[in-house]
Structure 1
Amino acid sequence: MAFEKVGVVGLGTMGAGIAEVFARAGIRVIGVEADAEALARGRGHLERSTGRALDKGRLTAEEREAILGRVTLTTAREDLADADLVIEAIPEVLEYKVALFTDLDRICKPETVLATNTSSLPVTAIAAATGRPKRVIGMHFFNPAPVMRLVEVVGTILTEDGLLEDVSHLAWQLGKTPVVVGDLAGFVVNRLLLPYLNHAAVLLEHGVARRDDIDAAMRKGVGLPMGPFALLDLIGLDTAYEIMGVLFGETRSTRHAPAPLLRELVGAGLLGRKTGRGFYDQDGPAPAEAWKAHVTGVTVHGEGAEELVARLDAAGFRASDTPDLVLRLGERPVIEHAVRHADPSRVVGIHLVGQDVAEVVSTVLTSPETAGAAAGLMTVLGLTVVPCKDRAGFVADALLFAHLNDAVRMHASGYASIDAIDTAMRLGCGYPAGPFEMLERIGLRKVRDGLRALYAEYREPSFAPAPLLDQLVAAGLPAFPRA
């Protein structure tokens, strides 16, 4: 199917970006807004976005004029009558979208494809409100649309054969990478991303670690482009809360229940960057704490002890048989090792995450002075310190392993392939590697064992290792089979 004229309804930041994407590809666009004031704002979005591209040398003046010239702006929906494809980008309220699609169904020619840019609402419910449910799909762009390469192309049980392939081909023409999926709440990216972000809010609320430290663990330790709280502020806490509500409404899983802290912030109107304050205020993260190593003697136990002792020795800290600080490397519970020591107040857990982060783990018996001394030692070694409680997975593994387990369950359900999930998370979230690439790099057995520890402590069903992961570990396989 040829898409020669495309309509975009709703010209906020996202809608204007979508209109720009089509116009950049040489396709004529009709942009529709509710009134003249909103239309002027939409024109402003287009002009500013293409103006920035011009300033950065990504467009010539002639190219910019050609792009803007392909976009016709109007307040009359009837101008969409002969469009081949109409995409809506209005607020994420199902009733609004259903009303719009009912009207578009009346206006547009019978063969027009109607697409919703929803990030989480049910496409099937929107399609069923029209007289052309076979020709209603999801086409979920990511913000900013001119830059982000991913498009989730969402079909329903009603979608006619061949339509998703046609729309995927169109996405490739736009310079995007399509991932074709079915109509589950959140699709791939938000169904995986938002529970991970919500889980971070739960850890913060439970006092496992502090806001800045959780962000540092995931950014510097795991290598994600942003920490969960910085990302929540960017997305908008209200948006995150709404998506979690949609996920919970579909699954009734406690994994998808919005964190009370998230609800409280939204109720207070602290929505992130859009209001100037969310988890962070406008000033951003606080300066890193200045730790000092007041240590005369140290002992290190656990897997990797020799390497850490050598690093401490090179930094001028000597191992001692009568230490004032005992470091326990490896997995928890640290308390089980601490109580075997003559003075458990001097025992601190150390969990190294990647090459740059040390989680410094205090038990209920660890003295504040001891924890501070251990943090100072790790700082001397050039590591970013993440103080945390003695909980399963500490910070990074607790968040990451549960997140990866969600991806395994998604694939095992038949919803999306390994390649589709990895592609979606790399392109949609800027991950350096997809979930399955991470799993195989970390080691399937290590992730499986970490999940078992999480489940044993929290009894949260979603923390139990996905059966497919258990089976691969039992079979001794190091990687997931690809079809």
Structure 2
Amino acid sequence: MDQSAAPAYPLLPTVAVVGLGTMGTGIAEILARSGRDVIGIDISDTAAREATESLEASTARLLEQQRLTVQQRQEIIKRLRVSTDLRAAAEADLVIEVVPENYSLKLSVFTALDEIVKPTTILATGTNALPITKLATETAHPERVVGLHFFHPAQAMKLVEVVSSVLTSPEAVEAVSRLARELGKEPLPAGDRTGLVADGLLFGYLNQAAAMYESRYATRDDIDAAMRLGCGLPMGPLAVLDLIGIDTARTVLEAMYERTGDRLHAPAPVLGQLAEAGMTGRKAGRGFYTYQGRGSGTVVGDEQAAVVESDTAEPRPVAAVGVVGSGTMASGIVEVFAKAGYPVVVTARSEQKAVAARDRVAASLERSVKKGRLSAGDRDATLARIVPADSLDALSDVNLVVEAVAEDLAVKRQLFASLDQICRPGAVLATTTSSLPVIACARATSRPADVIGMHFFNPAPAMKLVEIVRTVLTGDDVHATVRAVCRTVRKHPVDCGDRAGFIVNALLFPYLNNAVKMVEEHYATPEAIDTAMKLGAGYPMGPFELLDVVGLDVSLAIEDVLHREFRDESLAPAPLLRQLVAAGCLGRKTGRGFHEYARR
């Protein structure tokens, strides 16, 4: 074989992992399971011992699941050697550093490794916040320094961000990228920027959630439930902070704020308070949540666990429901109520539109019958409860009216003024607005205490979340009524105040906007960012896929509302988003947004 054709770096058969915390231990495990010899190094005897115990426990579970044989398990365990001496890395082909996010500490590790490892050894840092280029320049061989950012838990998450500085050799980048692929991971190239791709978007969102909790705008459980059920995320943001480690998150945010000056990255004070109290999340047994023990992921009851009902009033009886509107959302809400047993009057600007809304429900129910989720009898009974009408006068006897008309405040105010004249005394009047002030609708009536926000998510029959929005004038019995109705129709209610974005949109759209800014700055492509968030954070859709589904025009309108409400320049819509809307590139509905789609 022509030796000159061999790669400059070997296939990395021996890897040292420096720092055996949760992340380092996870990385050591996947390396050992890949057939490589692993040298685990930590200054703490306890951490080194626990890394071995963790590998033994995880492989025992795999043995029980018949995913490993006894011999395979023994071989994996033998591949991990642990030490408290950094000199144990001398024979490594690759060293992966995952010590705490402290620049001086990382630099001391890298400069010491310069005197220990082979000239061909690649030095990788797991940082997602500190400047890799600066770290490399302060070492003897900056060309071999690379970023290799795994995601927690390393055993499960498929993304690895590969970060090169202007000094990193292409051979080093290729070698660690190949390693990532051999570990079953997706290597994503990234530039030397605080937060990289995934965490650059994730941490601002997490920080906002912490600030929302700190302001008592919504409870811990409601914030997390809203993002899980409203966006389909695998975990709520406060639970994610506990998983990452609140002290770690605060350190990353401090580094991001130092480099960006963006208020979204200025750590919420509650993060510092919790960290100072030793309440750093799962690893401490307590953070935003309380856990069964240190390192446990099992949440146990605490003083915040129960949903505290602020209302002592009895809910009003609801025997019949009215829905105003004939679009997709209105039809979905009609289906929700009718399936739950409520007689529903659906009104629109014409009888034809009202009938079309009922027909849309009929088509949805028919699909459920064909999939075996609904019987033909239940389908017929549900449809029999729906009465289409072309006049608001048909709502005179209902107990609850839910409007789902155009997201235009003037239109909604006019509608509520009409409902005020038509609906019976004591009827609850609800708006499904996602961005407009509920109080403005309430003040259009002579009974603002009866008005409340009831924000369903699309598609209403499938999405479990309803944001219940109280104004300063909403009656306690009205709030209690809507919560009771949500339970009856099998939806999960979360309480929030009457401010722009409520919970979900207030957290979601700044994250989406920051993704657009990342593309504007030519840091990453929409495709790369979508991949990063799906593989690195476990999100069901990437931000650009989601923007295209929501509609870029709708997204721009919501971001404009958030910007006006909070007067924060970091919330100003990205110019690229405004330009695409002006060009008519609105997402899936026009065949082109951030991605292109086949026209129907």
Is the deviation greater in 218-227 or in 318-327? 318-327
**For residues 223-258 of structure 1, what are the alpha-carbon distances to aligned partners after superposition, in whole Å with 9 as ceiling and x for unaligned?**
101111122222221111111111111111111111
Displacement of 1:70 in angstroms is 2.5
> In angstroms, what is the RMSD of aligned CA positions?
2.3
2:342 counterpart residue number:
315
The amino acid of 1:428's aligned partner reads: G
2:34 counterpart residue number:
25
Calculate percent identity across the aligned residue pairs.
45
8 Å CA contact retained: 1:13, 1:45: no
Displacement of 1:114 in angstroms is 0.4
Distance change in 2, residues 1:298/1:42 (3 Å): closer
Is the counterpart of residue 39 in structure 1 residue 48 in structure 2?
A: yes
Displacement of 1:268 in angstroms is 2.4
8 Å CA contact retained: 1:298, 1:323: no
8 Å CA contact retained: 2:315, 2:477: no
User: Any unmatched runs of 5+ in structure 1?
Assistant: none
Structure-to-structure mapping, 1:425-440, within 5 angstroms:
425-440=533-548
Distance change in 2, residues 1:113/1:367 (3 Å): same
1:341 counterpart residue number:
445
2:209 pairs with one of 192, 200, 205 = 200
Distance change in 2, residues 1:233/1:11 (3 Å): closer
**For residues 51-106 of structure 1, what are the alpha-carbon distances to aligned partners after superposition, in whole Å with 9 as ceiling and x for unaligned?**
22222222221111222222333344334334221111222221111001001011
Output the CA distance in 2 between the equivalents of 1:35 and 1:334: 56
2:565 pairs with one of 427, 434, 457 = 457
Displacement of 1:164 in angstroms is 1.7
What's the TM-score once normalised by structure 2's chain length?
0.76
8 Å CA contact retained: 1:293, 1:377: no
8 Å CA contact retained: 2:321, 2:343: no
1:352 counterpart residue number:
456
The amino acid of 2:398's aligned partner reads: A
Is the counterpart of residue 363 in structure 1 residue 382 in structure 2?
A: no
Displacement of 1:293 in angstroms is 4.0
Output the CA distance in 2 between the equivalents of 1:273 and 1:41: 16
Is the deviation greater in 153-162 or in 213-222? 153-162
**For residues 285-332 of structure 1, what are the alpha-carbon distances to aligned partners after superposition, in whole Å with 9 as ceiling and x for unaligned?**
734568974235766556755654565464257626214211122231
What's the TM-score once normalised by structure 1's chain length?
0.93
Displacement of 1:279 in angstroms is 1.6
- Find the structure with the greater CA-based Rg: 2
Output the CA distance in 2 between the equivalents of 1:104 and 1:307: 61
Distance change in 2, residues 1:271/1:82 (3 Å): closer
Output the CA distance in 2 between the equivalents of 1:306 and 1:65: 59
Distance change in 2, residues 1:375/1:179 (3 Å): same
Output the CA distance in 1 between the equivalents of 2:563 and 2:122: 45
Displacement of 1:389 in angstroms is 0.8
1:276 pairs with one of 276, 282, 285 = 285
The amino acid of 1:350's aligned partner reads: M
2:433 counterpart residue number:
330
8 Å CA contact retained: 1:298, 1:326: no
8 Å CA contact retained: 1:78, 1:107: yes
The amino acid of 2:119's aligned partner reads: P
Structure-to-structure mapping, 1:170-189, within 5 angstroms:
170-189=179-198
SS in 2 for 1:476: coil
Displacement of 1:376 in angstroms is 1.7
Output the CA distance in 1 between the equivalents of 2:13 and 2:275: 42
Distance change in 2, residues 1:427/1:305 (3 Å): closer
The amino acid of 2:268's aligned partner reads: A
User: Any unmatched runs of 5+ in structure 2?
Assistant: 1-8, 292-299, 345-396, 400-422, 588-592
Output the CA distance in 2 between the equivalents of 1:191 and 1:19: 25
SS in 2 for 1:21: helix
8 Å CA contact retained: 2:37, 2:79: yes
Structure-to-structure mapping, 1:92-111, within 5 angstroms:
92-111=101-120
Distance change in 2, residues 1:206/1:78 (3 Å): closer
Output the CA distance in 2 between the equivalents of 1:183 and 1:381: 49
SS in 2 for 1:107: coil
